[in-house]
Amino acid sequence: MRPFILALLLVSIAGADALDDALAKAGIERKDLGWRPRGYWNRFPEDIPYKLRHCDDCLAEPLSIVNVARTLGNSERTLLDPEALAKPAEKSDGSLYKAAFALGVERKIGSFRGYSANLTAKDTDIVEALLAVQEDAGRPVKMVTFGQESPYPAYRKDLEAAAAAIPAAARPILGRLVLNALDAHHWAALALRNVPLEKRAAVCARLDLGVENTDALDYEPAVDDVARAWDEPSMWYAGLKSVEALDEARLALAKLPAAGAFAFDWKTPYGWVRVRGSGDDVIDASESFVLVDLGGKDTWRGPAGANDALRQIALALDLAGDDTYEAEGPAQGAGLCGIGVLVDAAGNDTYRSGECSQGFGQLGMGVLADLSGKDSYFVKYQGQGAAILGVGELLEVEGDDTYTLWCHGQGYGAVGGVGVLADRAGNDAYLAVRDPAVTERASYHSELKVSVSEAQGCGMGRRGDGADGHSWAGGLGALLDASGNDTYTAGNWCMGTGYWFGTGVLWDGGGNDEYRGGVWSEATGAHFCIGAFVDEAGDDKHIATDAAVNAIGFAHDFTVAIFVDAAGNDVYESASGPGTSINRSVAMLLDLGGDDSYTMAATNRPGMAVFDEKFRDRTGGSTYFADASSLGLFLDVGGTDRYSPERGNNSTWLDAPDSPNPSVRNWSVGVYRADGTVTLDPIPEKRPR
């Protein structure tokens, strides 16, 4: 008996893991999957800056991307727990700060461990705190000339008069917040100490980098200049301090009796400090440093929690009330070469903005944290957890929420950025508008009839190989939803998709969900990237609309695309066969339980790796296609399934005996089996390939 056949029999007899058993049918193991580029692979894109640290290892160990998705989901569940966030100040363990760290900063940089933001300020009257801000900026608090104090401006006197409107119990808490914001300001300024103002201003002025980055349409050299010159750890330290400072103030202020209506406004060298009471206020957020509202149905106008080129820090806190936030440009938690954080503690809120808002970071950190209520979000471009060489987070704790976006958001990691939308609980609706007449982002993959969404867990890089040569690696875009019956609707490039060394992740922890995306949706990607989709439970619908191809476990050109639906009776509709690989990729669709139905084009089948002659061609100027390996795999475990076109249950689909695929390490595997278990741990690479 041939050794290979004997090995297959031994595996089956031993009751192997169902995935290992499926791979063995093609004569391979987990360690045979993926690749690491070699320096002699000319024409393979190398020297690509801004790659995140997980990228190369996940391409070499494809199943490790499931670990990335699940650890993000674990962090969301644990750290955005309402009970943890509601602990009184003296018992709080900094859950919101830890969430901002674990879901964003930790994925961007590995030099922190997230123990503490190390806030040191004590309760201090707000008058003394604002005097400290004046002195920190090198500005006098007493004006003296000709040997005597000038009668004006009477800085302390005027400040004390203005601060008299603030309830006495709130003054030391607000003063402490101002001092902690001053500490964060120090670190943000330190981060940019080697960055000329004109470079910073150029980056802050470019609010269209999302559309430019994909195929290198309009190179902005200031991005490279700032990225080479800034002190990145100091920027993230400033952001983490800002989040914890606002959360600390939230918990302390929540213990106070309800305040009446009042207004306090004071302009510091670093921007306005405004405090409002419990009235229904209209709050001007322009040129702000620290904004606090203690209650009421308020209207926030302008860049609430958003910095600009001249101001490194902008913090905003709203304690209660059904509020409305309105803006055109960066707002509602936006950091551009700086830090912008907005925390809204309670109420059914409405957020509307034009661009770069609701958790957006561009060479900076932007966080929007909404801790309760049924909320509505709308942004046109670049928002709802989006980042470009920065960290952008939208953290939503509970409530039935709606998210509407035109393009580039809802968990969007552009060049070197980490963009995360994390919604822990509620029946939520995520919409990236499909109509290109609205979005002005028509996709050539759908005859210009569907929008390019780049949303709902999308990582996109700047592909410069066909233009100016400035190729930048994509970042990590993740949409995380821990529970609830949710709907996801988008055009093309969505729901766990990657492009040009980017990583897109969609993780859903449970509920009966419905996914409707177009081309490049649900665990897909093109060109040296990663797409991951993990749904842990529920009866779900996975629909590639308009008979879209390249969807639901589809990988092209050195891409890793892993789709996992761990439980439930599910429906799949896509023109592509589930688990299809083209051009040296690893594509897997794993359904691990339930009675499922699959619909696909008659020419396709489950688990297919498409052969190409270049896989064995060594006559040209490059051989990396011939040197690599690839896999298209479909595995359904358990339940009674239906297939259209009709296929039998308990079936196996492999390459035909005369297929050239095995000779070039291009494996097709499709398996339906009635029972079995699957572990999704990667096997570390043991030999070069």
The model's pLDDT over 207-223, given as tens digits with 9 standing for 90+, comes to 999 888 888 999 999 99
* Residue 348 DSSP SS3: coil
pLDDT tens figures, 648-671? 766 899 999 999 999 999 999 999
> Would you state the pLDDT for residue 14?
46
Percent of the chain with pLDDT over 70: 97
Cβ distance 556 to 527 under 8 Å?
A: yes
DSSP 444: G
Backbone dihedral angles phi then psi of residue 438, each to the nearest 5 degrees = -85, -50
Counting beta carbons within 10 angstroms of the beta carbon of residue 340, is it exposed (0 to 12), middle (13 to 18) or buried (19 or more)? buried
Which DSSP string corresponds to 240-304?
A: HHHHHHHHHHHHHHHTSPPP-S-EEEEEETTEEEEEE-SS--EEE-TTEEEEEE-SSS-EEES-T
pLDDT at position 431 is 98
Q: Which residues contact 538 (CB under 8 A, 6 or more apart)?
A: 485, 508, 510, 511, 512, 513, 567, 568
Q: Which residue, 561, 487, 447, 430, is CA-closest to 69?
A: 561
Region 367-389: what's the mean pLDDT? 98
Task: Using CB atoms within 10 Å of the CB of residue 569, give its burial: 0 to 12 exposed, 13 to 18 middle, 19+ buried.
Answer: middle
Q: What is the average pLDDT across 380-407?
A: 98
Q: What is the pLDDT of residue 6?
A: 40
| Residue % of the chain over a pLDDT of 90 | 89
pLDDT > 90? residue 90: no
Q: Which among 342, 359, 261, 268 has a CA at the least distance from the CA of 300?
A: 342
Q: Please provide the average confidence, as pLDDT, over all residues in the chain.
A: 94
Tokens standing for residue 617: 């061609």
Q: Closest Cα partner for 71 from 436, 509, 502?
A: 509
**Res 516: pLDDT:** 98
- φ, ψ of residue 71 to 5 degrees: the values are -70, -35
State the pLDDT confidence band at 88, using cuts at 50, 70 and 90.
confident
Would you call the peptide bond into 436 cis, given omega within 30 degrees of 0 as the criterion? Answer: no
Q: What is the mean pLDDT of residues 28-57?
A: 94
Residue 8 scores a pLDDT above 60? no
Cβ contacts of residue 548 below 8 Å, gap of 6+?
Answer: 446, 492, 517, 518, 519, 521, 574, 575
C-beta atoms surrounding 139 within 10 Å: 11
Choose the weakest-confidence range: 13-22, 117-126, 303-312, 426-435.
13-22
pLDDT at 631 over 80: yes
CA dist., res. 414 & res. 410, Å (int): 12
**pLDDT above 50: residue 51:** yes
Q: Looking at the predicted structure, is the pLDDT value of residue 556 above 60?
A: yes
- Nearest 5°: phi and psi at 409? 180, -165
Q: What is the pLDDT of residue 682?
A: 84
Q: What is the structure's pLDDT at 650?
A: 64
Model confidence band, residue 483 (pLDDT cutoffs 50, 70, 90): very high
- Look at residue 649 in the predicted model and tell me its pLDDT: 65
Q: How far is residue 272 from each of residues 249, 266, 289, 385, 440, measured CA to CA in Å?
A: 18, 6, 5, 26, 36
CA–CA distance, 689 with 682 (Å, rounded to integer): 16
Checking if the pLDDT of 549 tops 90, the result is no
Residue 90 in 3-state DSSP? Answer: helix
Spatial distance between the Cα atoms of 528 and 290, rounded to a whole number of angstroms: 42
Q: How confident is the model at residue 689 (pLDDT cuts 50, 70, 90)?
A: very low
**Which tokens hold the place of 646?**
């009709």
Quick check: 547 pLDDT over 80? no
Each residue's pLDDT tens digit, 419-473 = 999 999 999 999 999 999 999 999 999 999 999 999 999 999 999 999 999 999 9
684 band by pLDDT with thresholds 50, 70 and 90: low
pTM (predicted TM-score):
0.95
- Residue 39 pLDDT exceeds 70: yes
Location of structure tokens 């943000």: 188
The H or E element that residue 211 is part of is: helix 209-213
Supply the pLDDT for residue 2: 42
Tell me the angle at which helices 155-163 and 126-136 cross, rounded to the nearest 10 degrees: 140
Lowest mean pLDDT across 25-29, 89-93, 528-532, 555-559: 89-93
CA–CA separation, 363 and 428 (whole Å): 30
Measured at the CA of 497, the angle between CA 50 and CA 110, to 5 degrees, comes to: 35
Joined tokens for residue 521: 């949706």
Q: What does the pLDDT look like over 241-297, one tens digit per residue?
A: 999 999 999 999 999 998 899 999 999 999 999 999 999 999 999 999 999 999 999
Query: Per-residue confidence at 513, pLDDT binned at 50, 70, 90?
Result: very high
Torsional class of 224: left (φ above 0), alpha (ψ -120 to 50), beta (otherwise)? alpha
Measured CA to CA, the distance from residue 101 to residue 107 in angstroms comes to: 8
pLDDT of residue 9: 42
Cis peptide before 82 (omega within 30 of 0): no
Write the DSSP symbol of residue 308: B
175-201 tens-digit pLDDT: 999 999 999 999 999 999 999 999 999
232-254 vs 171-191: helix crossing angle, rounded to 10: 170
**Structure tokens belonging to residue 52:** 């995140």
pLDDT exceeds cutoff 70 at 601: yes
Contact 184, 270 (CB under 8 A): no
Beta bridge partners of 581: 555, 609
* pLDDT band for position 687 (cuts 50, 70, 90): very low
**CA–CA distance, 597 with 582 (Å, rounded to integer):** 24
